[in-house]
Structure 1
Amino acid sequence: MSRFLVILLLCLVFVAGSVGYRYLSWVLNWQGAETPFDEVGISLHSYMPGFVQDWGCAKLKEEFGDRTMPPYGCRGDSGWR
């Protein structure tokens, strides 16, 4: 039984690390994208808690600023939230 729990824990850590890495690569623009409109990044953003979403939108605004519209989830009444 303990072997099963270790394997389950390793799988959970791997999944959490993969999701976290993918989200950070979108928010911090590690690939050097021209726009913030990445479907996977936007989808992951919608599942993040509020304070992480606020941080992510602030980082995206720093990177892309007024060059483009904000992606879904970062739109406010007058542009970026």
Structure 2
Amino acid sequence: MQKILRLIIVLSVGIAMMFGGRWYAYVALGDSPYDEVGIALNGYMPAPLRNWGCHKMQTRFVGQMPPHGCAGPDGRSWL
């Protein structure tokens, strides 16, 4: 029973690191704010992380339209 629990914990941490790392790479290092996988991962993040990611991308991609999930009510301004 203890081995199964340990396996589940290790797999959960590994999956969270994989998706979290991919999201961070999209937000902090991506070449474009319009990466489909990054947009989807950003949509699944909790609101504080999603807001941080949108603000980070806004400073990196000045003058570009915001991706889905980072757009304001008019669809053209950043959150």
Relative to the length of structure 1, the TM-score reads 0.89
CA–CA separation in structure 2 for the residues paired with 1:19 and 1:26 = 11
Structure 1 match to 2:33: 36
- Return structure 1 stretches of 4+ with deviation > 3 angstroms: none
CA–CA separation in structure 2 for the residues paired with 1:14 and 1:49 = 19
Q: Which amino acid aligns with 1:44?
A: L
CA–CA separation in structure 1 for the residues paired with 2:44 and 2:38 = 10
Choose between structure 1 and 2 for higher RCO, CA contacts under 8 A separated by at least 6 residues: 1
- Asked if 1:75 is matched to 2:76, the reply is no
> Which secondary structure state, in structure 1, belongs to the residue aligned with residue 68 of structure 2?
coil
Cα deviation code 1:6-44 (max 9, x no counterpart): 111100010000011000000002x5x1x2100110001
Query: What is the number of equivalent residue pairs in this alignment?
Result: 77
- Asked if 1:7 is matched to 2:7, the reply is yes
The offset of 1:65, in angstroms, is 1.3
Identity %: 39
CA–CA separation in structure 2 for the residues paired with 1:45 and 1:20 = 10
What RMSD over aligned residues (CA atoms) do the two structures have, in Å?
1.1
> Which secondary structure state, in structure 2, belongs to the residue aligned with residue 65 of structure 1?
coil
Unaligned runs of 5+ in 2: none
Q: Which has the higher strand share?
A: 1
